């Protein structure tokens, strides 16, 4: 009888000690306090700056009507061909595309391909296109090519050259530049393009007084 009693007492002690340990653990958990940590911030793309040479001014000076191209089968006179250098410089490699807006939209062709030259006595003066050839494109100092997108940059196609379209008529049109390794804009720090300006004035203008050309367009760089 004595042996049985001592064994039973030992079991009871172990049970009590185990229970006490569990109670102590639960009490510690019930007393714990919590706090949250949030990690926030904004990662910005590399800063890219587009610029035109000559302050973005294409100046035809003073032109005499008699000096313009008089093709009798056309309703306009061609202005002399002009070129202007365009550059994009980025602080780090970036992927981007270009869109354009005609600031004289009311005097354009209404389809976006020809930018307006303003009005004279409530008549449209004429228009101009902005185009370029791949031979005049460099990407990070190497020969570049032009790529175009008609769906806001989701898909791209190669082009022999490029041109700007007014964003109101062509809201999803994008122009980009590639090194030719892939059919999409290449991540770059520097792009150079020599752009050609092809302008004209309408023949039915009242040329008995001065007609001042007033074209204006804005080129916007968008990050991809």
For 55-69, write each residue's pLDDT tens digit: 999 999 998 888 887
Q: Which range marks the domain in which residue 151 is found?
A: 48-223
Question: 41 versus 96: which is more confidently predicted?
Answer: 96
Residue 12 domain-assigned (yes or no): no
- C-alpha to C-alpha distances, 49 to 27, 52, 174, 191, 196, nearest whole angstrom: 62, 10, 17, 10, 21
On the question of pLDDT at 70 being above 50, the answer is: yes
DSSP 14: H
For residue 10, is it within any domain? Answer: no
Residue of 184, 203, 224 lying closest to 94 (CA atoms) = 224
CB-based burial, 156-192: b 16+ in 10 Å, e otherwise: beeeeebbbbbbeebeebbbbbbbeeeebbbbbbebb
**Do the domain assignments include residue 15?**
no
192 domain-assigned:
yes
In a domain, 217, yes or no: yes
Of the pLDDT bands very low, low, confident and very high (cuts 50, 70, 90), residue 73 is confident
Statement: residue 17 has pLDDT above 50: no
Instruction: Indicate whether 14 pLDDT > 80.
Output: no
Q: Domains in the chain: how many in total?
A: 1
pLDDT higher than 70, residue 211: yes
Per the domain annotation, does 29 fall within a domain? no
pLDDT of the residue at 59: 93
User: What is 79-124 written as a DSSP string?
Assistant: PPPEEEEEEEEEEEEE-EEEEEEETTGGGS-SSSSSEE--EETTEE
> What's the chain's average pLDDT?
86
Q: pLDDT tens, 87-119?
A: 999 999 999 999 999 999 999 988 888 999 999
In a domain? residue 41: no
Residue that wins the pLDDT comparison between 18 and 150: 150
Q: What is the 3-state secondary structure (H, E, C) of 135-181?
A: HHEEECCEECEEEEECCCCCCCEEECEEECCECCCCCCCEEEEECCC
Query: Residue 12 pLDDT more than 70?
Result: no
Is the pLDDT reported for residue 127 higher than 70? yes
120 lies in some domain: yes
pTM comes to: 0.79
CATH number at residue 107: 2.60.40.1090
């Amino acid at each position: 009888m004595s042996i049985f009693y001592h064994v039973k007492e030992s079991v009871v002690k172990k049970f009590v000690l185990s229970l006490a340990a569990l109670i102590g653990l639960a009490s510690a958990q019930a007393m714990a306090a919590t706090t949250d940590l949030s990690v926030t911030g904004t990662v910005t793309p590399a800063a890219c700056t587009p610029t035109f040479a000559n302050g973005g001014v294409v100046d035809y000076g003073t032109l005499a009507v008699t000096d313009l191209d008089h093709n009798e089968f056309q309703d306009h006179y061609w202005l002399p061909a002009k070129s202007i250098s365009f550059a994009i410089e980025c602080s780090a490699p970036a992927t981007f595309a270009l869109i354009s807006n005609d600031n004289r939209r009311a005097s354009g062709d209404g389809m976006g391909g020809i930018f307006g030259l303003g009005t004279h006595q409530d008549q449209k003066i004429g228009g101009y296109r902005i185009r370029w050839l791949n031979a005049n494109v460099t990407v990070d100092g190497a020969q570049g090519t032009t790529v175009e997108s008609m769906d806001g940059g989701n898909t791209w196609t190669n082009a022999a050259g490029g041109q700007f379209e007014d964003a109101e008529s062509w809201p999803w049109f994008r122009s980009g530049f590639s090194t030719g390794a892939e059919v999409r804009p290449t991540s770059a720090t520097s792009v150079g393009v020599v752009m050609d300006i092809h302008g004209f004035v309408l023949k039915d203008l009242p040329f008995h007084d001065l007609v001042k050309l007033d074209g204006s367009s804005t080129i916007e760089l968008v990050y991809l």
